[in-house]
Amino acid sequence: MKTTKMIPLIGILLALLLLPSLQSPVSATEPTNGRIYGYTFQSVGWMLLPVPFVQITAGAQQTNSNLSGYYELNNLSLGIVYDVSAKKFGFHNTHTEIQLTADQPIAQIDFILSARAEYCLMSIVYYSSTSSSEGSYL
C-alpha cells in the first residue's frame, strides 16, 4: 500500500515542476536601449548625393557618417527627448527632435544638407575674341 500512495505524490511533484514549461512561452523583454540611424544627403538638382563625414550628435553621443553617408548611434536611453543634429563645414547645420520609447526604440533619421552660399565654389570665365583686343567676363 505504501507504493500506491507514492505514485500519485510523485505525479503531483512532476506536474508542479513541469507546469512552468507548459505555460505560455517567455515573452520578450522590453528594450532598455535605443538606436538612431540614417543617411546624410545633399540635394543636387533632382539627385540626392551622399555626404560623408557629417558630425551627428544626439545627447552626449556623437559619430560621423561614412563614405556612403550612413551613420548609427547606439545605446541611447529610452524616454529621453534627443535633439539630433547634423553638422559639416560648408553646410547649414540642421537638427530634429525625437523621443525613443520601449514601443519604438529604433528610429531612422535622414538629413538633407544644404550648402552654404559663402562656401560654394565659383568660377569666373574670361574669354577673348580674336576679332577684338578686348576680352569679357561671363
Which residue from 49, 96, 58 is spatially nearest to 76, judged by alpha carbons?
Answer: 58
pLDDT in tens, 99-128: 999 999 999 999 999 998 775 555 455 554
Cβ(35)–Cβ(74) below 8 Å = yes
Residue 84 lies in a domain: yes
Number of structural domains in the chain: 1
Residue 130 lies in a domain: no
* CATH number of the domain bearing residue 84: 2.60.40.1120
pLDDT in tens, 17-69: 555 544 445 446 777 899 999 999 999 889 999 999 999 999 999 999 999 99
Q: Which domain holds residue 58?
A: 33-119
What is the pTM assigned to this prediction? 0.65
For residue 70, give the 3-state DSSP assignment: strand
Residue 86 lies in a domain: yes
Residue 39 lies in a domain: yes
Burial class of 115 by CB neighbour count within 10 A (0 to 12, 13 to 18, 19+): middle
Residue 27 lies in a domain: no
Which residue from 34, 111, 113 is spatially nearest to 73, judged by alpha carbons?
Answer: 34
Total number of residues shown for the chain: 138
CA 134, CA 48: separation in Å to the nearest integer? 42
Q: How far, in Å, are 24, 58, 74, 100, 105 from residue 31 at the CA level?
A: 20, 19, 12, 11, 7
CA 63, CA 73: separation in Å to the nearest integer? 7
